Amino acid sequence: MLNLILLGPPGAGKGTQAKLVQDKYKIVQLSIGDMLRAEVAAGSELGRQAKQIMDAGALVSDDLIVKMITSRIAKPDCKNGFIFDGFPRTIPQAEALDTMLKDSGIKIDHVVEMRVDDEAMVSRITGRYTCAKCGAGYHDTLQAPKAGGICDKCGGREFTRRADDNAETVRTRLKAYHAHIAPIAGYYAKNGVLKGVDGMAPIPEVTRQIAAILG
């Protein structure tokens, strides 16, 4: 079993790397943002509560997030391990995670902090889009599909952009991240599991640095 947390600001490459780790290590990516967006698309009560907050770039309440995670990590596909992408984002979330894991006898093996330059994140995010069919991620200039307009993975021809991927909201999301990250990084540094990677390096190099940590 391998359990991993990816920390990093919006655009750091958490989702990009989590998908690669998922494929290589056969563990499941738990993207809290994707889970919330699925709730929004389904029109659930949780989705209704989360939508406005996400569109504004603020953090959804700890209670809702913790409830969602508690039921998610109990599912059978988590039995080989998981990668948290976008969780925890506050100290109460980190503490709640510890309690959850203690109750089920599971531990976090590595916390990888992706260190990047904020200004570069704005252009990474505003150029990002995903395949509407399989969810593969692309970027207008940094990572375009090999054959223009056709998804490399599934051949899909329709792509979507997130509602919160505009410059103004990205800046609010960056502020929300920085308001909480220092104590969270400190929390995991104290437990001896925190490692850093250079998130400004090209994608394959970041993957290599993460693989070196995971072993």
Question: Contact positions toward ligand AP5, by CB under 6 A?
Answer: 8, 10-16, 32-33, 36, 53-54, 57-60, 65, 86-87, 89, 93, 124-125, 128, 137, 139, 142-143, 173, 199, 201-203, 206
Tokens describing residue 108: 């976090």
- b/e for 26-65, b at 16 or more Cβ within 10 A? ebbbbbbbbbbbebbeeeeebbeebbeebeebebbebebb
- Closer CB to ligand AP5, 105 or 200, in the complex: 200
- Closest-CA residue to 18 (of 214, 158, 193, 175): 214
Between CA 208 and CA 214 the distance in angstroms is 10
- Closer CB to ligand AP5, 25 or 105, in the complex: 25
DSSP string, 4-58: EEEE--TTSSHHHHHHHHHHHHT-EEEEHHHHHHHHHHHT-HHHHHHHHHHHHT-
Residues taking part in catalysis? 14, 89, 128, 162, 173
Whose structure tokens read 């990516």? Answer: 29
Q: How far is the CB of 52 from ligand AP5 (least distance, A)?
A: 10
- The continuous run of DSSP H or E covering 182 comes out as helix 167-190
Q: How far is the CB of 205 from ligand AP5 (least distance, A)?
A: 7
Q: How far is the CB of 84 from ligand AP5 (least distance, A)?
A: 9
Q: How far is the CB of 86 from ligand AP5 (least distance, A)?
A: 3
- Closer CB to ligand AP5, 105 or 138, in the complex: 138
Between CA 158 and CA 132 the distance in angstroms is 6
- Closer CB to ligand AP5, 181 or 214, in the complex: 181
